[in-house]
Amino acid sequence: MNILLVEDDQRISNFLVKGLTEIGYYVTLADSGEKARELIGAYEFEVILMDIMLPGLDGMQLTQMIRFKGNYTPILVISALNSPDDKINMLDLGADDYLSKPFHFEELISRIKALTRRNRMSYQEEMQFLRCGNIIINKDLHRVTQNGKEIEFSPTEYKLLSFLLENKNKVLSRTQILHSVWGINFDNNTNLVDVYISYIRNKIDEEEEKIIHTIKGTGYLVKD
């Protein structure tokens, strides 16, 4: 497991790096918020252990920045600040858990394991399901539902809708769709994409909210 430790107290960081390394974790140390920001931008971590009181960019600001950039790596705050308000503020900013100093090392390990286990389960669910608005695709079962009601699609319709949802919030050209769903040998001038989009639109209910948007002169966009 690759862990980022953000801690400016050398005594604490030495203890944590030694202990985590001994049980098989790979630990990268950042002794400031600015250094942590650089590392997070360049590498992927499975867990971030973060103090709040850091020189310069503090833990609150760093947590806000991480979440604002769409990075949802689990953050476990380790801090001497232990009032309910401190904990609530960090959790509201996007931290996943909070451990007050001093703490037992065994409890830290348990918290890390719980966070990574929860994150893996969330990732597996994300990989199994595609969602957009009230439409859900279960990729394991090749099943499409809207507001809980199953919709029957042909294999090609299913493949097209899946491709659209996999690229949710991106404008896709007709050529991109054609090549990805039907293969590169099809004539780019065919209206096949438009025909199958109409098939899908006839089967889903867009009265409540628009799902498939036509981008004039370009292609299509599925967005929440």
Average pLDDT over residues 16-20: 95
Give 7's pLDDT tier (boundaries 50, 70, 90). Answer: very high
CATH of domain 2-127: 3.40.50.2300
**215 is written with which tokens?**
């981008």
For the stretch 178-224, pLDDT in tens is 888 887 665 667 788 999 999 999 999 888 788 899 998 889 999 87
Alpha carbon distance 81, 77 (integer Å): 10
Architecture label for domain 133-222:
Orthogonal Bundle (1.10)
Domains of the chain by residue range: 2-127, 133-222
pTM for the model stands at: 0.56
pLDDT of residue 71: 85
Question: Which residue do the tokens 């090392």 mark?
Answer: 105
Separation in Å, CA 147 to CA 118, 138, 202, 222: 26, 13, 16, 17
- Asked if 209 and 203 count as a contact pair (C-beta separation under 8 A), the reply is no
For residue 63, pLDDT over 90 is answered with: yes
**139 is written with which tokens?**
């990729």
Find all residues with CB under 8 Å of 222, minimum gap 6, and list them.
Answer: 132, 164, 165, 167, 168, 169, 211, 212, 213
- Asked if 99 and 77 count as a contact pair (C-beta separation under 8 A), the reply is yes
Mean model confidence pLDDT for the chain: 88
For the stretch 133-166, pLDDT in tens is 889 998 888 899 998 899 999 999 999 999 999 8
For residue 123, pLDDT over 60 is answered with: no
pLDDT of residue 207: 81
- Asked if 120 and 141 count as a contact pair (C-beta separation under 8 A), the reply is no
